[in-house]
């Protein structure tokens, strides 16, 4: 283990893994509690459109993917609040459009790109110091929004009552959507576009099985997300498999063990 820590790329990956594990599992509790599991998948595929556009423009893909995904997140929230369409329908529309745009952008690029596969499946080798700095910035913003946790939890459990108590539910919807969108983008290099939705859902779902309160669910989810990122990265290096797959499979094992444990009570 100490040998691994001496490798610069592994140091970057582990730091990135801890930061991403914290972000994804923290926002994941709101995704799970609000029944928005499909949102993670929708935003991941929106990020694919942004990454593909970045590759087409020969620019850093994540810098294009961030505003692209934020626009999609705001669009999903706006359409959901302005129409009678369900969340899954709205997300499905934006999901499809973003994927179609991503495919078109990659086709227009003509030449083969290894980077596209890195973003699709994740790689511990791809995490850079710039990625860590940007992810750290997102963590700082998240910590700054900690005072809103109670408000978000209130509207997650009873939206109508929160609105009656004059909680700015619609505003919070936009804030949460944007923060989840940015979290999805910063997680792509580590976990990959294909699997980031699972990273948002599995730690929070596992924590829900083990917790009797929403506050405890949040803490347990963060612990599971962070530890699984560290152990999963270590396993991916030793087994020579994509980091995203190793992390998600570890989280899935934790979920099924927790399910058996909670059922046996």
Tens-level pLDDT at each residue, the chain (265 residues)? 566 677 788 888 889 889 999 999 999 999 999 888 888 888 888 888 888 888 888 888 888 989 999 999 999 889 888 887 777 788 888 888 988 998 888 888 766 565 667 777 777 777 888 889 989 999 999 999 999 999 999 998 888 898 888 889 999 999 999 999 999 998 888 888 878 888 999 999 999 999 989 999 999 999 999 999 999 988 888 888 888 888 999 999 999 999 988 876 6
The whole-number pLDDT of residue 51 equals: 87
- Residue 146 has a pLDDT of 93
Q: CB under 8 Å to 153, separation ≥6 — which residues?
A: 33, 214, 215
The whole-number pLDDT of residue 2 equals 60
User: Residues with Cβ < 8 Å from 48, sequence gap 6 or more?
Assistant: 98, 99, 102, 119, 120, 193
* CATH assignment of 2-259, among 3.30.1200.10, 3.40.50.1000, 1.20.1420.20, 1.10.3470.10: 1.10.3470.10
What count of other Cβ atoms lies within 10 Å of the Cβ of residue 111?
Answer: 5
Per-residue confidence (pLDDT) for residue 3, from 0 to 100: 66
pLDDT of residue 63: 86
């Amino acid at each position: 283990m100490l040998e691994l820590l001496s490798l610069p790329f592994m140091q970057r990956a582990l730091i990135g893994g801890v930061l991403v594990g914290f972000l994804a599992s923290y926002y994941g509790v709101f995704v799970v509690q609000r029944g928005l599991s499909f949102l993670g998948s929708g935003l991941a595929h929106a990020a694919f459109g942004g990454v593909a556009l970045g590759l087409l423009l020969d620019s850093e893909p994540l810098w294009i993917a961030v505003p692209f995904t934020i626009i999609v997140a705001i669009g999903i929230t706006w359409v959901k609040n302005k129409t009678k369409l369900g969340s899954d329908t709205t997300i499905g529309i934006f999901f499809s459009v973003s994927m179609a745009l991503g495919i078109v952008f990659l086709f227009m690029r003509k030449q083969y790109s290894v980077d596209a596969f890195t973003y699709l499946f994740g790689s511990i080798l791809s995490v850079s110091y710039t990625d860590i700095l940007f992810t750290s910035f997102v963590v700082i913003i998240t910590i700054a929004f900690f005072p809103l946790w109670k408000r978000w939890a209130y509207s997650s459990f009873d939206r109508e009552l929160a609105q009656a108590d004059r909680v700015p539910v619609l505003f919070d919807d936009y804030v949460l959507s944007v923060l989840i969108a940015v979290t999805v983008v910063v997680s792509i290099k580590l976990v990959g576009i294909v699997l980031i939705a699972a990273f948002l859902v599995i730690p929070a779902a596992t924590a829900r099985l083990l917790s009797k309160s929403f506050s405890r669910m949040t803490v347990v989810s963060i612990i599971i997300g962070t530890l699984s990122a560290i152990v999963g990265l270590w396993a991916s290096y030793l087994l020579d498999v994509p980091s995203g797959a190793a992390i998600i499979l570890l989280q899935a094992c934790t979920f099924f063990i927790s399910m058996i444990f909670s059922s046996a009570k």
